[in-house]
Structure formats: C-alpha cells, structure tokens
Structure 1
C-alpha cells in the first residue's frame, strides 16, 4: 500500500455505503417509530444532512494534513503518547460496534435460519471469514466493497418494491406530532445509524483522483439517507406506527410478509438471511480492517495480519458477553453515545484545530 492513489471515486462511494448500512437498518424502523412515531423518515433526512457535514469535517482534517494516514495524523498533531491513546479509543469504539453488531447478527440467524446452531459457532465462522479477507491489502477490501454494493442493494430494492402492494400511505400520517425532546432523541438515534462513515479516514489517503471528493461524499450519504427513509416509510405503510413499535426487526418481518404473484419462491427466509449476512459482513470487515490498521501502527507491528489476529479474540469475548438480545441493545445504548460523540465530533475538531495551530495543510484539490 505504499503506492498512493489506487482507489477510485466509486471505490470511496461504495466503501462508505456498505460500511454504514449494516444490520442496524433492520431494527431502525422500530427505534424511530418508538421515539418519533411517523416522523422517523423526516428525522433520518435531517440526520443525513448532519452526517454529510461531519464527513466534510473529516475531509477538511485529511486535507489539512496533506492526505496522511489516520494514525500519522494522530501522531503528527497530538504527539506519540496522546496520538496512541486517541487511536486506541477509536479502535475500542470500532471493536465494540462490530462485536455487538455480530451478536445481533447471530441472534437473528439463530431465530430465523439456524435454530440448533450454537451462537459460538456462528460468531467464530464470521470472525474467521473476516480475518481471511482482512489479511489482504486495502485494495482487495475496496474491490470487495465495490462488488458488495450491487450484490446488497439490487436484490433488496427489488424486494422492497413489492412491499408497496400491501401498504397504505395514510399510515405515514399525521406528521410533526412529537415533542421537541422526542425529536432530539430520535435525531440522536438516527445519527448513530450512520456510524461507520469514519472509514473515510482510512480510504481518503489512497484516493486516485482528489477532485470532487465532497460530491462523492454527498452521493454516498444521499443513497444511505434515501434507503433508510424508504425502509422506514414502507414499514409504517405496511404495519402502522403502533405495530412497528412492537416488532424487534420490522424490516425482516416486512420482507418475509411479501407475496409476489406467480413467483416460484415459496419462502423468503433464505434470501433475507443471505442479505442479512452480507449487510453485516461488509460493516464488520471494513471496521475490523480499520481497527487492525490502527493497532498495527500504534504498536509498530509488522503487518495487519498480526494485529487483526490479536483483535479477533477480543471481538469474540465482547460478542458473547451479553446474555440475550435485550442486553445487546442495553449495552450498546450505554457505550455507543459516548464513543460516537468522540469519534463523530470531538476527534475531528481536535485534529482540525491542532492542524491549523501548527500551520499545516493545503487548499489544493478542495471539493
């Protein structure tokens, strides 16, 4: 990876989308209906605007640091000790995110597909598969993301088109009925659903054409926002607000309930689970790679093969720690807000401030 400039604009676009859109999309309608009722899709659009601004902030940081790698920026701006500390905090955030997401993934697989398969086996299978892909270089990972984008979104969009047949648009009404504090809580939840866009730190230093990066950011966030909004609207149309609140994974229930006249597929569970695996795996493998890259640089390890192997047992232990899916969500609600605030806002602002303080940066290729 010493040769800079091997990632295309499409590679950046696909990497951001497949990293952000993980298994959370399957429970997002439930959380939004519970917090803001029928206004969930509007809140998601506002959250998308906020996340685009946060991505633009990351771009400013990378631009100011002349497209250096993430850990190099930490060390150059904060010094060796503080840079290592901040790098480890971000690594912990990624590890907790993928571990808890993996446990959620395993619980759904057990419920709908592999009822007799031990949770431990599902977790180990996912970790070893991810470990195999992560052991390659970044270019291989980006190529995987480029392929996965179409493999994920073409089938799911075709399936969701048929969801409109049994729904009623009036179920999305009335709008703007929640209290201000409910909108604030819902906006926070919706913003967390965009977690993973920090992968831009990893990818930006290796972009081939540095013109129009912010346009690529806008396109990627627009696709994610539109996808989230469509899923929420369809769940409300099909189930109503009250029923959506009572469904743990409304998106899965929606897809399972779809009936296509004349279709030769009798049960959708297999297709749904195949999509579920891909939606989680792309998030997992990208954040896993980023974590391994940070550990490699922080502890001066030989390559990412060793650092990713060291992280694997930690992911496994954290994923097994919750006793059930309720504990997974409870643990996530306690940890995610703090670490997300640090990763989304505090860290990029600190890096931007210290970069300007030290007089770094260039205005070339901006935008």
Structure 2
C-alpha cells in the first residue's frame, strides 16, 4: 500500500461517520419506535454500546495484522481458496447494501419531491456522483467526506427548533415503561440503522502511521453517530406522540415541513438536499469497497474499471423490487445478513487467529 493510499485517524473517523449516516436516518425513528415505543432511544443506546464492543474485535485484528487488509487476514487464517470465497460473499453483501440504498433513496425522493419521475432517472441522480467519487483513491474519498461533514451540524441545528416550540417531554415517560423485552427487540433495527460501522475494519488498513493512536481516534466515529441518532430519536419523540410515530414514515421530514420562516419556506426540501449528499457519500463507500474487492478477486491493481462493472450490475438489480412491500422484504433480509458480515465473520477470524497463535507458542515450547 503506497503513501498516497494512507489516511489519518481523523479521516477514518469521518469515513465511518459518513458511511453510517445514510438512508436510515429518515425512517430509523419510526422503525425502532414500532418495537420499543417511547424507549426507542434506549434501544439505540444499547446498540451503540454493542457496536463499540464489535469495534474492539476490529481493533485487535488490525493491530495483529498491521500491514494487511481484512481479506489478507482471512486468507492467512483460512487459506487462499476459502479467503477468496469469503471475499466474493462480501462483494455480494456490498452490492446488496447498494441495491437497498438505491431503492430507499428512490422511495424518499419519489414520495416527497418527484412523484412522477421514472425510477431509472431518480437512480441515476444518485449513481452518477457516486461513480465519480468511488473511482478515485481512498485519500480523495476521505477528503470529500471531511469536506461535507460540516453538513451534519447543520442537520442538528435545524432540529433544535423543536426544543424551542413547546416540546412534549412527557412523551418520553415512563422511561423503560415498554418493558425489557421490547427494548431488547428494538436493538436489532437500531443496529441495522448503525450499519456502516464495518468501514472501520475495511478502511482501517489504510491507516499506517501511529496505527494504535489513530484507530482509537477513529473508533469515536461510531460513538458520534450513536449520540446523533439518539438525539434524532428523542427529537422526533417529543414532537410526535408514540402512536403517531409508528405511522409516520419519515418523521424528521415532517418536522422540517412544519418549520417555516418569513423568508424561507419548505425547509424540508433544504434538509432533504443535505441528506441526499450525505446518503450518497454512504453509498460511495460501499461502491469503493465493492470495486476494490472485485479487483482483488480478479487480481486487478486499479479498481476504476471495477467501479463501472459493479454499478451496472447494481443498477440493474435495483429494478427487481418493484413495490414498497418488496423493498421492505429485501431490507429485512439485509437486516439479518448484515449481522453475519459485520459481526460474526470478523469475530470468528479473530478467534481463529488467536487459536493459531496459541498453537505456535505451544509447538515452539
């Protein structure tokens, strides 16, 4: 890995944040509230703490193999054939995430702005800038994510008006009133909303200098997103009663729509424009990872051509789920398999690496 492909801990921090905050932010409060009701924020807190534990797995792997990528680690632990097979499975996972992201974007845009615009046109609006960015080096990608990260505070401040306009804090009580079972069940959709934290594992291999220090800095990226999501959930829940929350598809947008100034109207469209850039940035991360994974499978040093190949396939597959019900079914499947690829497999690889190290010590003794 040459010098121009090295990133800093803070650049990795922003890559993680921009990868996690994507499509989920709009529907996330509703999805978790359907299960955990007014205790949805507790489910998000528990999910965030769980993800921090997962990051420890990533950290140990990256420190154990400081010069290797994640797929190099897998090949060292399981052999080249199994390693390549798992790489192909991860490629399919990245592409599936992109398909869900595209369809989620299309649903929001067509329901909120361009109701009569064909799906193929809306998808191109999302794809073109992503392709332009994903074909560049990881350094360019990281710099872009740092550049647009100033938009996140804009989203935060735009929601602060709720706290100044008769907030209903009683909607959050009684804390824990929905019961432990409901709160724990709400952790699953909360983890799904946080998907993208695996960027720490894949992009972490690009951090070369002061690796331990910079990886610790980057680990706060997921913590930042967790706090941000809790803020969004609490904000929506002091605006909407819980019975309203579970039927409002995009509560954040409805809050923005209710906000008007004398000079500026339809604040929701401004909010949506900012969200589109952040969501596209998340999509770009997966496109970049997918292209690099495909390049690895075919022994290609440059991933540029792979970007075009992957986006053509993803664009075509995105037309298969035609109705909202089908998109929801595909999304439910992603919710299940994401646990496998982001948590289970890395944990198994860490266990195998530790077992091999123990065996080597016993043999040398």
TM-score higher than 0.5: yes
TM-aligned CA distance change 1:137 to 1:5, over 3 Å: closer
Corresponding residue for residue 320 of structure 1 = 319
Q: Is the CA contact 2:204–2:215 (under 8 Å) kept in the aligned structure 1?
A: no
Q: Does 2:135 align with 1:139? A: no
Deviation at 1:181, TM superposition (A): 3.3
8 Å contact kept, 1:55–1:217: no
Distance 2:65 2:200 in 1: 14
Match of 2:341 in 1: 343
1:88-103 alignment, distance < 5 Å:
88-103=88-103
Q: Report the Cα distance in structure 2 between the residues aligned to 1:351 and 1:184, rounded to whole angstroms.
A: 27
Which secondary structure state, in structure 1, belongs to the residue aligned with residue 96 of structure 2? Answer: helix
Q: Is the 8 A contact 2:10 2:218 kept in 1?
A: no
Deviation for aligned residue 1:5: 7.2
Given the alignment of the two structures, is residue 267 of structure 1 paired with residue 266 of structure 2, yes or no?
yes
The answer for the alignment partner of 1:357 in structure 2 is 355
SS of 1:175's partner is coil
Cα contact 2:42–2:183 (8 A) shared by 1 = no
Equivalent-residue separation in structure 2 for 1:302 and 1:206 (angstroms): 15
**2:237 corresponds to which residue?**
236
- The answer to whether the 8 A contact 2:8-2:214 is kept is no
SS at match of 2:203: helix
Residue by residue, what CA displacement relative to the aligned partner does 1:235-281 show, whole Å, maximum 9, x if unpaired? Answer: 11111101010101111111221234xx5211224302212211210
Number of the residue aligned with 2:228: 227
Structure 2 residue aligned with 1:249: 250
Q: Write out the 4+ residue segments of structure 1 that deviate beyond 4 Å after TM superposition.
A: none
- Determine the C-alpha separation between the residues in 2 that align with 1:224 and 1:73: 28
The size of the alignment, in residue pairs, is 356
The TM-score with structure 1 as length reference comes to 0.92
CA–CA distance in 2 between the matches of 1:258 and 1:215? Answer: 39
2:333 maps to: 334
Structure 1, gaps ≥5 residues long: 361-367
Instruction: Name the CA distance, whole Å, in 1 between partners of 2:20 and 2:134.
Output: 18
Question: Residues 61 and 350 of structure 2 are in contact (CA less than 8 Å); yes or no, is this contact kept in structure 1?
Answer: yes
Q: Indicate if the aligned counterparts of 1:104 and 1:325 stay in contact, CA closer than 8 A.
A: no
- Once the two structures are superposed, the pairs formed by residues 181-200 of structure 1 within 5 Å of their partners are 181-200=181-200
SS of the equivalent of 1:197 reads coil
CA distance 1:169–1:67, shift in 2 (3 Å): farther
Task: Give the SS at the match of 2:147.
Answer: helix
Change (3 A) 1:59 1:102: same
CA 1:253 to 1:102, structure 2 compared with 1: closer, same or farther past 3 Å?
same
Instruction: Give the CA deviation at 1:212.
Output: 2.6
1:212 lines up with 2:210 in the alignment? no
Q: Does structure 2 retain, via aligned residues, the 8 Å contact 1:16–1:196?
A: yes
Q: Which runs of 5+ in 2 are unaligned?
A: 359-365
Q: In 1, Cα distance between the equivalents of 2:216 and 2:56?
A: 10
User: Aligned runs of 1:133-172 on 2, under 5 Å?
Assistant: 133-151=133-151, 153-166=152-165, 167-172=167-172
For the aligned residue pairs, the C-alpha RMSD in angstroms reads 1.8
**How far 1:218 moved relative to its partner?**
4.3
Q: Does 1:287 align with 2:302?
A: no
